[in-house]
Chain A
Amino acid sequence: MNEYIIPAFFSLLDPMVILLITAGAVAGIIVGAMPGLTATMAVALLIPVTFGMAPLLGLSLLGGVYCGGMYGGAISSILLSTPGTPAAAATAFDGYPMAKQGKGGTALTVATWASFWGGIISTVALLLMAPALAKFSLRFGPPEYFVLAIMGLSSIVTLTKGSMVKGLLSGFLGLVIATVGMDQISGYMRFTFGQIDLFDGVTFMPALIGLFSVSQILNLTSQTHISENIDATLSTIRRSKLPQGMTSTICRGGIIGTIVGMLPGAGATISSFISYNFAKQSAKDPETFGKGNPKGVAAAESANNGCVGGSLIPLLTLGIPGNSVAAALMGGLMIQGLIPGPELFTRYGTLTYGFILSLFIANLAFLALGLFLAPYFARVTATPNALLIPGIAILSVIGSYAINNNMFDVWLMIGFGIAGYFLEKGGFSIGALVLGLILGPIAELGFGQSLIISQGSPMIFFERPLCILLWVITLLLMLPAFSSHLKKTKNRVE
């Protein structure tokens, strides 16, 4: 490996490479922060641009976009409760309350550092352990995916602040909505009412924008500013520091992101929810989560950026992309004549390791940009709501429309927004609903395929070693939440 790394390192000293990585990170941050625009879209659009470039230049640009895009989602999620990417949905749970308390700058600082370290951890894993980890990811079959989805769903217990029944109802409502559209196994159309736009199911991004963004702007109509503490001047925001005690949360998030990221189809959104769940369950003050605990932001952000390196592990070693951005990156590799697989690490070793090392620079680029720009971004919370509300509405409409260039998605977004507002006022958990929406298709497909493999026997979910391990982790995650809930109920009765 060393014979490739040293020349790869020197190839990165070309100022053009550094410039392109930085440009990619800037573009990624902008795209990531805009609801409706995804890193996949940006990478796919840039592939033709990279065609005429030297391979390392092109790949470094795409890597920069990927890293920046994953981080950028946190900005709008924290400041406006509008996740720029689905992976930043969990960031809003604590990030937005922090912004409302006038700590938007701190929340952005935490998100930037957590994203940076999450990205670094996963890139180190990609650099040192890619082949071994790729073999591990291949051991995940349909039963493991189903139990992984259950593990993700266990976060409902964590996300629920009030009534557990309402939290579970929200999660199951999300699972029900996720059944709309074509059944992935039989191809049968369910609950589409003849509406062609629903054949592929309820488009996730408009639903997410509606539930988080529109429901929030309706909430904001009763206030003059997002932040209750608008006295925070630029200089005080600039002095925002990373709170103490984040190290273990960030490291754990980075590792979770790397592991979940390398499982094809799982992705950054699930990893950020699982990491958030872990952070809350292991915290001494779990009741502060959802009310502006910076550890919630750190857990979600380190995990979603941890997915960057994780998703590239099966891509570079086996040619299996871990997520849609990695799939678009695969196009970028192939357009340069690089076929993913073992040859990438031998015949094209210098180039491949150069690309991996460029991800370190991309992480450094968005770290510098994020820390420098955080105070300016945070000023958004001082804008009067009367201007912010129509502004966010315009971004929500164009963001929902841009997914499929379809007005149906705009109406879906508005519908979800109004319904989400009333559900939240009724004590239901929007986070749990979103989780059900995300995990529904994965759980259903894993469940159906597993039962086909086992000829109908549910024992398949309890016999395989990885399944047993995942069940144990799931139970361990749920026990503290249930016991504290029971204690609260008992105290209330007494």
Chain B
Amino acid sequence: MTRSSMNRFFALGGLGLSAALFMGAGGFPDRAAAAARYVFFLAGVLALLSLILLVQKTPSPDSHVQWVRAPRNFLFAVFSIIGYGAAVPCLGFFPASAVFMPLLALLLGYRRPFYIVLGTALILSFVYLIFVYFLGVPVPTGIWGE
């Protein structure tokens, strides 16, 4: 994707968001008239700035945008984090973390099992000590909880 087409993409997104805000604020009741005015104002400025971005000339030469420099690692990281987020309520925070950390480290190409185990143990002990032991944060326990 070139920089100019990316700008057009973001500008159209901005215009779409402005339109959604206009429609949303139009449905506010009378008692929230001030809130609606504020949203209209924001939507108006957002639309104006998006229009400027749409018509603005990109400095030549129009370069390509490199969204991701290491696609494999990037995708591993994104999907692992999403999977980890989904696993926490089911497996519980500590078991899910104990699986997530070594798995992602391995996927990212780290091949030193001792440091992976040590790192996982250190992070999880630290989290337990501060969040659970001292501050009493009720971390998700998943299927192991009551």
B-contacting residues of A (Cβ < 8 Å)?
30-31, 34, 37, 41-42, 45, 163, 165-166, 168-169, 172-173, 175-176, 179, 183, 185-186, 188, 190-191, 214, 217-218, 221-222, 384-387, 389-391, 393-395, 397-398, 401-402, 405, 407, 410-411, 414, 417-418, 422, 425-426, 428, 444, 447-448, 451-452, 492
Contact = CB atoms under 8 A, between A and B. Distances in A.
Chain B interface: which size bin? 35 or more
B67 A444 contact: no
B46 A173 contact: yes
A394 B108 contact: no
Nearest to B76: A221
Interface in B1-55: 6, 10, 14, 17, 21, 24, 28-29, 31-32, 34-35, 38-39, 42-43, 45-46, 49-50, 52-53
A218 B101 contact: no
A492 B59 contact: yes
A411 B85 contact: yes
Contact of A169 (B31, B49, B119): B49
Nearest to B97: A394
B42 to A, nearest CB: 5
Given A391-B119, A394-B97, A176 B17 contact: yes
B88 A397 contact: yes
Contacts of A168: 45, 49
A165 B130 contact: no
Given A169-B49, A387-B110, A402 B104 contact: no
Contacts of A221: 70, 73-74, 76-77, 108
- Select the residue from B38, B74, B124 with max chain A CB neighbours within 10 A: B38
Nearest to A217: B77
Contacts of B137: 398, 401-402, 405
A218 B78 contact: yes
Contacts of A386: 104-105, 108-110
A172 B74 contact: no
A357 B26 CA distance: 55
B49 A172 contact: yes
Contacts of A41: 135
Given A45-B135, A163-B53, A188-B32, 8 more contacts: A30-B130, A34-B130, A165-B53, A188-B31, A218-B77, A393-B81, A394-B100, A397-B97
Interface string B111-138: 0000110010001100100110001011
Nearest to A224: B109
Contacts of A166: 10, 53
Contacts of B104: 386, 389-390, 393
Interface of B: 6, 10, 14, 17, 21, 24, 28-29, 31-32, 34-35, 38-39, 42-43, 45-46, 49-50, 52-53, 56, 59, 65-70, 73-74, 76-78, 80-82, 84-85, 88-89, 93, 97, 100-105, 108-110, 115-116, 119, 123-124, 127, 130-131, 135, 137-140
Contacts of A397: 84-85, 88, 93, 97
Contact of A387 (B39, B80, B119): B119
A92 B52 CA distance: 30
Nearest to A30: B130
A185 B34 CA distance: 8
A191 B100 contact: no
A393 B76 CA distance: 13
B21 A176 contact: yes
A256 B59 CA distance: 39
Contacts of B93: 397-398, 401
A387 B101 CA distance: 8
- Select the residue from A173, A183, A390, A452 with max chain B CB neighbours within 10 A: A390
- Select the residue from B82, B100, B108, B110 with max chain A CB neighbours within 10 A: B108
B108 A165 contact: no
Contacts of B65: 425-426
- Select the residue from B34, B116, B124 with max chain A CB neighbours within 10 A: B34
Contacts of A389: 77, 104-105, 108
Contacts of A37: 130-131, 135
26 contacts: A37-B131, A41-B135, A163-B53, A165-B49, A165-B52, A172-B49, A176-B42, A176-B43, A183-B35, A186-B31, A186-B35, A217-B77, A221-B74, A221-B77, A221-B108, A389-B105, A390-B102, A394-B127, A395-B123, A395-B127, A397-B84, A401-B140, A407-B88, A411-B85, A426-B10, A492-B59
B77 to A, nearest CB: 5
A222 B88 contact: no
Contacts of B115: 387
Contact of A426 (B6, B68, B100, B130): B6
A343 B82 CA distance: 55
Contact of B34 (A165, A393, A394, A451): A451
A179 B38 contact: yes
A374 B84 CA distance: 32
B128 to A, nearest CB: 10
